[in-house]
Structure 1
Amino acid sequence: MTRFRKIIGQIHLWLGLITGLIVLIVSITGCLFVFQKEISDLIHQKTFFVEPPAAAATLPYSTLFKKAEQTLGKDRPINFSTTYKDPDHAWEFMTYKAGDPKALTYFGTIDYYESVFINPYTGAVTGKYDYKYDFFNVVKFIHWGLLLNDTYGQPIVGYSTLIFVIMLITGMIMWWPKKWSKTNINKSFKIKWKAGFKRVVYDLHNVSGFYVMLFTLILALTGMVFAMKWFQTTVYVIASRSITPPDFKQEKSQKSIVTFNPMDKAFDTAKILLKTADRIAFSPASGADGVIYVNGIIGKETYYHADALQFDQYSGKLLHRKNYSEQNAGEKLIGMNYDIHVGAILGLPGKIIAFIASLVAASLPITGFMIWLNRKKKKSKK
């Protein structure tokens, strides 16, 4: 073994021992979260879905909004809602309030995080949902920051992921055959299942790690975009080829007296302007001069392809529109980051790839530790 490969091996070993447990936790939770939508839709089918009537005409948005307000209570103002083009979807109205910003854990940083689901044709409440204690949401925040306050959890996960990227690179160097002979190719690309336990463990670490390397690298890099602001900025600058921040025009509402409901006007206008949208995300105005934000999202599960509208909260007048097509390459890439990270950008095949890659990534710290342990025992015997 050359001196270079010995150094690479030591780097790979010690970085693995330092971050192995965190990589295992993050990978397992990522694996669990991949199919959360499919599982949640199945478990909560009666809450999330409705049977549309023959004449599928929905009630006014303001009527449904008031019903949601009554259900949630006066101390739970609605921050966000999602409506669907699919006629069999209940509409979701969400309320969220941050907790103590200095709290140690995720649970302390959230006061409440709930949703009420309403049949858009009858106004009937199909169910309530507490996201704060939802299984998949807890899994997501373990993945996000080990269930700690973002101040502590995000840097731990972010820099552990950065170390994991270095390990993927060093692992690839160690995997690379010295000579591309038939024997070496078989060792590098095939798991010898009939060999002894130690050899199978070694092959599982090396061979399976090679096959998912590209996918785990993508998952790791997209995860770092969330975890570290400096890395997100770097990705944006490289993609947009500019150090200028994204253009965002913030409009303001002007107080006026109207005889109609401005919320309905804004929503009805958005439906006309966003005909191709599969979902419309609606955020009520906050503050005296705040505006109504509306996003028209193309895709039943992805988020990146969205046109953004701003409406006056008093008149319902359209103040500003920014289409997805107007975004620069940096904005588009950052906007796609979540959908790439969970594999949803490629639909079901992408999610299956993300699931397998996460599962193999979770196995790497285990098999790597077993290899190190076996070698340590071997040395002590000598």
Structure 2
Amino acid sequence: MPAPSSNIRRSAGARFWIGLVHLWLGLASGLVVFIVSLTGCLFCFQQEISAAWYHDVFFVPAAAGAQPLSALLRTAGDTLHTPVDYITTYRDPSRAWEFMSYKTNDTALTYFGNVERFRSVFIDPHTGRVTGFRDYKHDFFNVVKYIHWNLLLRDPIGQPIVGWSTLIFVVLLVTGLVLWWPRRWTRAARRAPAPRRWTRAARRQAFTIQWRAHKRRLNYDLHNVLGFYTLLVALVLGLTGMTFAFQWFYRAVGAIGGAPAAALVDTSGGAPRSLDAAFAHIRDTYTGASRIGLSPPSGSTLYLSAYDGRETYYNRADVTIDFRNGRMSTTPFARRTPGDKLVNMNYDIHVGAIGGLPGKIIAFLVSLVCASLPITGFLYWWWRRVPPGRRPRSSRLRR
């Protein structure tokens, strides 16, 4: 049967070149992929851990009513001795409200030089009592996030490194699937007089980890089998990460489904014209919102976001109020185009929050596997550098 034999040889040649691409791309990006995956794994449960660790800061005795937001804002400014840049309020009466102050230095090279201040004060909305402070600049999870985001470098330097490494990782996942695919399942092999393809041994080799095998065989299985099982979720994590890193990819995702829908504009001039009145209006309008975030008025314009999800950011309504003429524009989540919705969901998909606690657990486990792949891949390459005659027979891996 000369034809099938020729096809099999060509298939093996293609696998050789794909394997070579997989090897050198893996060696080039492995360290960054390991760092980004490990920090992503650590960041998955930061909200739950922070809420437990800083419970006395984040939570207050539940009570009815709240002091005027403007009064709480003055208290926060006097306490921080710096302008407040963002406010997060909660519908839950047992949550303290957060007043954040943030300033950057865009000429610095590293994260610690780039972030001049990044701290928050938390205030009991019922009594006006300060419950505590957070210095996010030196906070463990925030440092982990910025290692993940830009390797603690300025965005123009660090983000391209992370972005291109993530793109390479996506390519590695695809080429890894090709290399994982057993030769006996290829079309050429099916036409050749080969043994049965779906034998128990074949399934065991492709889908299970041989925990009692030689360390080289075990390492091989940890790389190939775990890589196969986590492939789809790892691809989602990689592609959503690329949306942060590359503007061209962000625009391409946003272009799905057409241009963003126009905001609903109320031109009657009847919108509230003060901070307290505007905040009360939004709370009464979006009764299902678990939290409302806003920036203190910039000139005469107030920007607010009402979030429906308890920990997610995508399902929100963005509101802009002009105090000068009483005009208000609103962009609810339901009016967004599919691409706009996908862009807004990107962060929540990336961290697994869109699936609640199960989604975070999946993101955590897959990120952990992704962090292991550069290690097991490097060990597999390193051990294969030993001359074949010196390798134990059990370590000669054949598919």
Regarding TM over 0.5, the answer is yes
Shift of 1:379: 4.8
Native 8 Å contact 1:155 1:227 kept in 2: yes
Matched residue SS, 2:102: strand
CA distance in structure 1 between the aligned counterparts of 2:365 and 2:72, rounded to whole angstroms: 41
Shift of 1:191: 0.4
Matched, 1:178 2:183: yes
Matched, 1:283 2:295: yes
CA distance in structure 1 between the aligned counterparts of 2:159 and 2:122, rounded to whole angstroms: 31
Equivalences for residues 231-380 of structure 1 within 5 A: 231-237=249-255, 239-240=256-257, 242=258, 244=259, 247=262, 262-287=274-299, 290-313=300-323, 317=326, 319-379=328-388
Matched residue SS, 1:207: helix
Task: Give RMSD over aligned pairs.
Answer: 2.0
Corresponding residue to 1:19 among 26, 29, 32: 29
Native 8 Å contact 2:311 2:353 kept in 1: yes
Which residue of structure 2 lines up, in the alignment, with residue 29 of structure 1?
39
Q: Which amino acid aligns with 1:372?
A: W
Distance 1:261 1:245, change over 3 A: closer
Matched, 1:79 2:88: no
CA distance in structure 1 between the aligned counterparts of 2:263 and 2:273, rounded to whole angstroms: 27
Equivalences for residues 27-66 of structure 1 within 5 A: 27-53=37-63, 56-66=64-74
Q: Using the TM superposition, name which of 215-224 and 304-313 deviates more.
A: 304-313
In structure 2, runs of 5+ residues without a counterpart are 1-8, 185-196, 392-399
Native 8 Å contact 2:149 2:159 kept in 1: yes
Q: Which amino acid aligns with 2:131?
A: T
Matched, 1:198 2:251: no
Corresponding residue to 2:161 among 147, 156, 159: 156
Matched residue SS, 1:276: coil
Shift of 1:175: 0.5
Native 8 Å contact 1:266 1:318 kept in 2: no
Q: Which amino acid aligns with 1:65?
A: L
Native 8 Å contact 1:177 1:185 kept in 2: no
Matched residue SS, 2:366: helix
Equivalences for residues 84-163 of structure 1 within 5 A: 84-99=90-105, 101-163=106-168
Native 8 Å contact 1:62 1:261 kept in 2: no
Which has more radius of gyration?
A: 2
Distance 1:322 1:80, change over 3 A: same
CA distance in structure 1 between the aligned counterparts of 2:324 and 2:30, rounded to whole angstroms: 54
Native 8 Å contact 1:251 1:310 kept in 2: no
**1:164-191 deviation line (CA, Å, top 9, x unaligned):** 0000000000001222422222111000
Matched, 1:187 2:193: no
Matched residue SS, 2:287: coil
Corresponding residue to 1:3 among 2, 13, 19: 13
Native 8 Å contact 1:285 1:293 kept in 2: yes
Which residue of structure 1 lines up, in the alignment, with residue 191 of structure 2?
none
Q: Which amino acid aligns with 2:227?
A: G
CA distance in structure 2 between the aligned counterparts of 1:185 and 1:313, rounded to whole angstroms: 68
> Identity rate of aligned residues, in percent?
49
Native 8 Å contact 2:34 2:374 kept in 1: yes
CA distance in structure 1 between the aligned counterparts of 2:209 and 2:328, rounded to whole angstroms: 61
Shift of 1:151: 0.3
In structure 1, runs of 5+ residues without a counterpart are 255-259
**1:316-342 deviation line (CA, Å, top 9, x unaligned):** x45211211111111100000000000
CA distance in structure 1 between the aligned counterparts of 2:149 and 2:13, rounded to whole angstroms: 38
Distance 1:297 1:9, change over 3 A: same
Native 8 Å contact 2:72 2:123 kept in 1: yes
CA distance in structure 1 between the aligned counterparts of 2:389 and 2:323, rounded to whole angstroms: 74
TM-score between both structures, scaled by the size of structure 1: 0.91
Equivalences for residues 210-229 of structure 1 within 5 A: 210-229=228-247
Shift of 1:102: 2.5
Which residue of structure 1 lines up, in the alignment, with residue 189 of structure 2?
none
CA distance in structure 2 between the aligned counterparts of 1:323 and 1:204, rounded to whole angstroms: 45
**1:50-84 deviation line (CA, Å, top 9, x unaligned):** 1113xx111111111111111111xx111110111
Distance 1:105 1:91, change over 3 A: same
CA distance in structure 1 between the aligned counterparts of 2:180 and 2:25, rounded to whole angstroms: 17
Distance 1:79 1:251, change over 3 A: farther
Matched residue SS, 1:11: helix
